Amino acid sequence: MSGLGGLNKTPNGLVIGMVQLQLPTVVTKQDLAAQTQRICEMVAKARRNMATMDLVVFPEYSLHGLSMDTNPEIMCNLDGAEVAAFKQACIDNNIWGCFSLMEYNPQGNPYNSGIIIDNQGELKLYYRKLHPWVPVEPWEPGDLGIPVCEGPNGSKIALIICHDGMFPEMARECAYKGAEIMIRTAGYTAPIRHSWQITNQANAFCNLMVTASVCMCGSDGSFDSMGEGMIVNFDGQPLVMGSHRPDEIITAEVRPDLVREARKYWSVENNIYQFGHRGYVAVKGGAQDCPYTYMQDMVKGKYSLPWEEEVIYKDGTSCGFPVPERTYSNPK
């Protein structure tokens, strides 16, 4: 149950609002400033809409739109005017906020980044998208891992972005690091609808973790984002699902304490525990080896598919991007 979308908040509850923001067109610095102001206005709307709301979440691309424009003039920094405005909006409305920005990178392509700011204007979580949606997106692969922060009412929250959620390893990492709620922000369009729904549900169930996900919504004249925010309980059951209406804010109360309870008391289907304790009925403590070849190969830097040489698309040229010349080097 969602507490009627959060209207009936309980002492252990956390009320989340997912904003299906109207897809913008942002080309100039003036456009960026105007869209920043619009997001801040939507923070205020979220507070007016639901007095019990603890956290308001904006989709990926809510600040920059879907143009994939890497123009340095409209890229952002953590100490820039856009983030400062988001911090002030959270203070003014006494609410936590999750925001998207395309982040300037002096060493290469911009990062697709997400931040969580608390109701005092403090930066609590900072994440760079690990898996840009290739071959469509030009963003630099993230280099910060998957951070988890303490959220409102003692919750633990992780943030991933869009295509990240198609990799079950991402959700597993969030849960493994203690997240009880995984936020997934996106700009997806309608062809991804089914994959969006099943991965949000599977990521929740397989990790005993609430997933709260939202896309951009509406059209910018070229692209049609699908909205379809959804908040899924830790058993994989959707608590609430949004429509295709731009600027709709879907809400639900979630219960991190019940996540912790399930992780402690479930035996059947406590998969996040059993993954690392295989067959504990037969073997004391269960087998704790790593029988997965792809994991072993990735650690060695030798990840290679049996059909590796047959893969056609290995760069972004099909979407108009030049063949990259740099090799990846994680500065961390």
* Confidence class for position 58, pLDDT limits 50, 70, 90: very high
* pLDDT tens readout for residues 98-122: 999 999 999 999 999 999 999 999 9
User: What residues does 113 pair with on adjacent strands?
Assistant: 101, 128
Given a contact cutoff of 8 angstroms between Cβ atoms, the answer to whether 2 and 51 are in contact is: no
Helix and strand numbers, DSSP H then E, in the chain: 8, 14
pLDDT of residue 331: 64
Q: What confidence score (pLDDT) does residue 2 get?
A: 72
Q: Please give the pLDDT value at position 4.
A: 87
Say how far apart CA 205 and CA 288 lie, in whole Å.
Answer: 22
Confidence at residue 175, expressed as pLDDT on a 0 to 100 scale: 98
Q: Retrieve residue 177's tokens.
A: 């690091």
Give pLDDT, residue 330: 75
**β-pair partners for 15:** 253
| Residue positions annotated with a catalytic role | 60, 129, 162
| pLDDT at residue number 66 | 96
The answer to whether 151 touches 56, Cβ cutoff 8 Å, is no
Domains (range + CATH), the chain: 3-274 (3.60.110.10)
Report the SS3 class of residue 108. Answer: coil
Q: Taking 70 as the threshold, does the pLDDT of residue 190 lie above it?
A: yes
Q: Strand 14-20 and strand 55-57: pairing?
A: parallel
Portion of the chain with pLDDT greater than 90, in percent = 95
Given this model, what pLDDT does residue 329 score? 83
Q: Which residue has the tokens 């983030």?
A: 83
Q: What is the pLDDT of residue 1?
A: 63
In one-letter notation, the amino acid at residue 245 is R
Residue 209 has pLDDT above 70, yes or no: yes
pLDDT, average across residues 75-92: 98
Q: What is the pLDDT of residues 153-166, one digit of tens each?
A: 999 999 999 999 99
The pLDDT value recorded for residue 293 is: 98
